[in-house]
Amino acid sequence: MTSIKISSDVFNKYHTNGKLRLSTGYVQEALEKQGYPGHDGIVQILKGKEDIGEQMGHGFTYRIRICDGIFQYNTLVSADLDDQIKREAEHLVEGAIIAITNLSTFSQGAGIKTSFLITGYTLLSRYHQQLSAPEVKPRSHSGNPAEHHGYRPNIVVEDVWPEAESITAEFQENMSNPPAAKMPKRESGGEASHNRVPAPEPNRSRAPPPPARRGPSNTERGVIPIAMVTPYVNNFRIHGMVSRKEDIRNIPAKNMKIFNFEITDSNGDTIRCTAFNETAESFHSTITENLSYYLSGGSVRQANKKFNNTGHDYEITLRNDSVIEAGGELLAAPKLNLKRVSLAEIAGHCGEMIDVLVIVEKMDAEATEFTSKAGKTLTKRELELIDESQALVRLTLWGDEAIKANVDDYHGKVVAFKGVIPREFNGGYSLGTGSGTRIIPVPEISGVSELYDWYTTEKPHSELKLISQTSGGMSEAPRTIAGLQEMQFGKDSDKGDYASVKAMITRINPNNALYKGCASEGCQKKVIESDGEYRCEKCNKSMNKFKWLYMMQFELSDETGQVYVTAFGDSAAKVVGKTAQEVGDLKDENLNEYNATFERLQFVPKMWRLRCKMETYNEEVRQKMTVFSVEEVNQDKYIENLKELIEQMKGIEDEGSY
């Protein structure tokens, strides 16, 4: 294998203090500039292989995966460099370091990452371990420059340069013992002699860099600990790692954009930072999660504990004059700071952000998609959590978190939920997640092993108490229709109360089960049909299509009486067993089967979950019942509930006998 020879010119051009330093952030710069960013980039090769081909008219002869110390990217080497590649292919493998001297980019179409094509490079070194800084683990770049726009890390990733050992030694000797500057001697009446060798010119190829391992201390930079940030500290400056970065949230009603992130210092203290509108857009593109930054300037205000679970009494609102700079100091990953609340105590923290450490006892196998009252399509997934307090609580995951959650990572394992919100509903308590929630399966903190020991040894013999009562549950004893009517159930709540009944459909009119609704997403307004078009007054537009929607009214009966109830959306779909669109297609294509679909629903006992509410119509107060959910009758459970009711009635009789 031929050796790599480094000339003095190459050394002077690319060394930093005699070492090879990667051009951190070079991939991002090249993506922003859509090509060569105006300066050479020193990168490391992670993989390399010969591969001759063509993409979008660009011929290539080699493939490499490069790393600039922060980002990794798959790259092609132009076929124009074929002769150079043949000479140096044995070196262009894992561990080699090159300087990119020319680079172009090209697109392969929407949804495909921008391609890099190296059209010029200089081979510098080989046989290096993968280089990275302790505080940053290199990651693959998505190819979208907007994700990290403007990011220029001040992070040192470097290694010795074995191939330039002799030149490095000479350089370091000259740096340690610089030659003294002397005035040239003059002979009497003569001119200065030019026969002397002049003192070496200083290396001006680049400014001397700061020391690689240590910059000015935090004290020298005027940095204060995050714990000391208060409204009474003027001109504060903090340094830490971005431990959480949220997406920008749009609030159309207020024409506002909000961006939140959290920064944690080396002491483990965390503070929440918020930016609005243009400032939010600017800083969102500036910072990257798990990298360190200096932050100065901003308004310090009292923390809103409903949305802030950092444990800090204050939070920072960023202004136009706030400054965020990349921090190159080495920071360890912040420790998880969990301010734990036991599940049995969540009732005292309703509406607040809390942290829990729990075992996931049960978990839905898949996420469930449904339509909200506002017409939005939502996704959720429910879990049942337990801890040593012997309380059993339901928690709901929403959106992407619900979809990507892996049952194997959760079920039967200790999981930390940081920033969940307890909510009360119909006398029960549950936990909900939000944009600020962090989920850490099997965290490395105290209490994990103790909780798992309890779960495996004591839990099987413990009596768990369910303190969550969701509106869709059938856990309480069923009531009768006559009982709900006589007691005017729901009169004590503006939002209505929920009750379960065992009943059957005894009358239903198929002709009024569906209506033609607006085809716009999120809208459920009934359309007006005219001349083959469908007009929505809410959206103020006419369309050539519509969507079928449920609005069913039917009679429910049990042994005590009858009542008319209403069912919409997903609740109605559960009753029928088909979507509104499927039933609507039947109505158009096979009217007999359409009618038979509703006939089959009658006289079949079910367990119904009803929302009861008193409403005023024409100055008359009426009780309205709406179907929330429906299930098959669990006879064993139903019998147990009846036995409990009998015991309660016996207790009432015994009290009345005194």
Give the DSSP letter string of 563-574.
EEEEEEHHHHHH
| SS3 state of residue 6 | coil
Q: Helical H runs in 512-579?
A: 569-576
What is the distance between the alpha carbons of residues 418 and 312, in angstroms, rounded to a whole number? 14
What are phi and psi for residue 472, nearest 5 degrees? -95, 5
Let me know: does 392 contact 468? Beta carbons within 8 Å. yes
The tokens describing 278, both together, are: 């243009």
Let me know: does 248 contact 233? Beta carbons within 8 Å. no
DSSP string, 58-110: EEEEEEEEEE-SSEEEEEEEEGGGHHHHHHHTTTSSTT-EEEEEEEEEE--ST
What is the distance between the alpha carbons of residues 74 and 64, in angstroms, rounded to a whole number? 6
Contacts of 262 (CB under 8 A, 6+ apart): 242, 243, 244, 270, 271, 272, 273, 310
What is the distance between the alpha carbons of residues 603 and 605, in angstroms, rounded to a whole number? 6
Least reliable range by pLDDT among 385-389, 476-480, 503-507: 476-480
* CATH code for the part of the protein at 346-466: 2.40.50.140
Average confidence (pLDDT) over 387-413: 87
In angstroms, the Cα distances linking 348 to 341, 344, 353, 362, 429 are 10, 9, 12, 24, 10
How much is the pLDDT for 111?
Answer: 64
- Whether the pLDDT of residue 9 is over 60: the answer is yes
Write down the mean pLDDT value for the chain: 82
- Whether the pLDDT of residue 140 is over 70: the answer is yes
* Amino acid found at 322: S
Maximum CA pair distance of the chain?
138
- Whether the pLDDT of residue 195 is over 90: the answer is no
172 falls in which pLDDT band (50, 70, 90)? confident
Q: pLDDT over 90 for what percent of the chain?
A: 33
203 falls in which pLDDT band (50, 70, 90)? very low
How much is the pLDDT for 217?
Answer: 43
- Whether the pLDDT of residue 657 is over 70: the answer is no
DSSP state letter for 511? G
Q: Exposed, middle or buried: residue 374 (CB in 10 Å: 0-12, 13-18, 19+)?
A: exposed
Q: Exposed, middle or buried: residue 141 (CB in 10 Å: 0-12, 13-18, 19+)?
A: buried
Give the CA radius of gyration of the chain. Answer: 35
Query: Tens of pLDDT along 255-292?
Result: 889 999 999 887 778 899 999 999 999 898 888 888 88
What is the distance between the alpha carbons of residues 132 and 67, in angstroms, rounded to a whole number? 9
How much is the pLDDT for 39?
Answer: 92
* CB neighbours of residue 57 within 10 Å: 6
What is the distance between the alpha carbons of residues 293 and 327, in angstroms, rounded to a whole number? 4
- Whether the pLDDT of residue 472 is over 50: the answer is no
Element (H, E) at 429: strand 428-432
DSSP state letter for 445? S
655 falls in which pLDDT band (50, 70, 90)? very low
Average confidence (pLDDT) over 322-334: 71
Let me know: does 177 contact 18? Beta carbons within 8 Å. no
What is the distance between the alpha carbons of residues 383 and 420, in angstroms, rounded to a whole number? 13
- Whether the pLDDT of residue 463 is over 90: the answer is no
Closest CA to 263 of 214, 306, 296, 307: 296
| SS3 state of residue 364 | coil
220 falls in which pLDDT band (50, 70, 90)? very low
* Exposure string for 300-325, b = 16+ CB within 10 A, e = fewer: beebeeebbbbbbebbbebeeebebe
Least reliable range by pLDDT among 203-207, 375-379, 423-427, 512-516: 203-207
Dihedral sign (CA 582, 583, 587, 592): positive
What is the distance between the alpha carbons of residues 380 and 472, in angstroms, rounded to a whole number? 14
142 falls in which pLDDT band (50, 70, 90)? confident
What is the distance between the alpha carbons of residues 569 and 24, in angstroms, rounded to a whole number? 53
Domain 8-170 is of which CATH architecture? Answer: Beta Barrel (2.40)
590 falls in which pLDDT band (50, 70, 90)? very high
- Whether the pLDDT of residue 354 is over 50: the answer is yes
Residue 70 region by backbone torsions, left for phi larger than 0, else alpha for psi between -120 and 50, else beta: alpha
The tokens describing 423, both together, are: 């909510």
Contacts of 541 (CB under 8 A, 6+ apart): 520, 535
The tokens describing 288, both together, are: 């990257």
What is the distance between the alpha carbons of residues 559 and 482, in angstroms, rounded to a whole number? 9
The residues with which 263 forms a beta bridge, in sequence order, are: 242, 271
Give the CA angle between residues 335, 397, 430 to the nearest 5°: 95
Let me know: does 380 contact 367? Beta carbons within 8 Å. yes
The tokens describing 351, both together, are: 């509406």
Let me know: does 133 contact 67? Beta carbons within 8 Å. no
| SS3 state of residue 357 | strand
* CB neighbours of residue 115 within 10 Å: 19
End-to-end CA distance of the chain: 105
Superfamily holding 481-641: Nucleic acid-binding proteins (2.40.50.140)
Let me know: does 612 contact 498? Beta carbons within 8 Å. yes
The tokens describing 506, both together, are: 């005894």
- 346-466 matches 481-641 in fold: yes
Query: Tens of pLDDT along 423-441?
Result: 876 567 889 887 678 888 8
Annotated domain spans of the chain: 8-170, 226-326, 346-466, 481-641
DSSP string, 170-210: HHHHHHHSPPPP-PPPB-TT-PBP--SPPPPPP--SSPPPP
Let me know: does 551 contact 514? Beta carbons within 8 Å. yes
Superfamily holding 226-326: Nucleic acid-binding proteins (2.40.50.140)
Dihedral sign (CA 576, 578, 584, 586): negative
What is the distance between the alpha carbons of residues 625 and 489, in angstroms, rounded to a whole number? 10
> Reading across the β-sheet that carries 541-543, which strands appear in turn?
528-530, 533-536, 541-543
What is the distance between the alpha carbons of residues 385 and 359, in angstroms, rounded to a whole number? 6
The tokens describing 160, both together, are: 């010795």
DSSP state letter for 583? H
The residues with which 237 forms a beta bridge, in sequence order, are: 296
* Amino acid found at 228: M
C-alpha count within 13 angstroms, C-beta hemisphere, residue 570: 15
How much is the pLDDT for 192?
Answer: 38
Closest CA to 425 of 471, 372, 457: 471
Closest CA to 505 of 562, 574, 584: 562
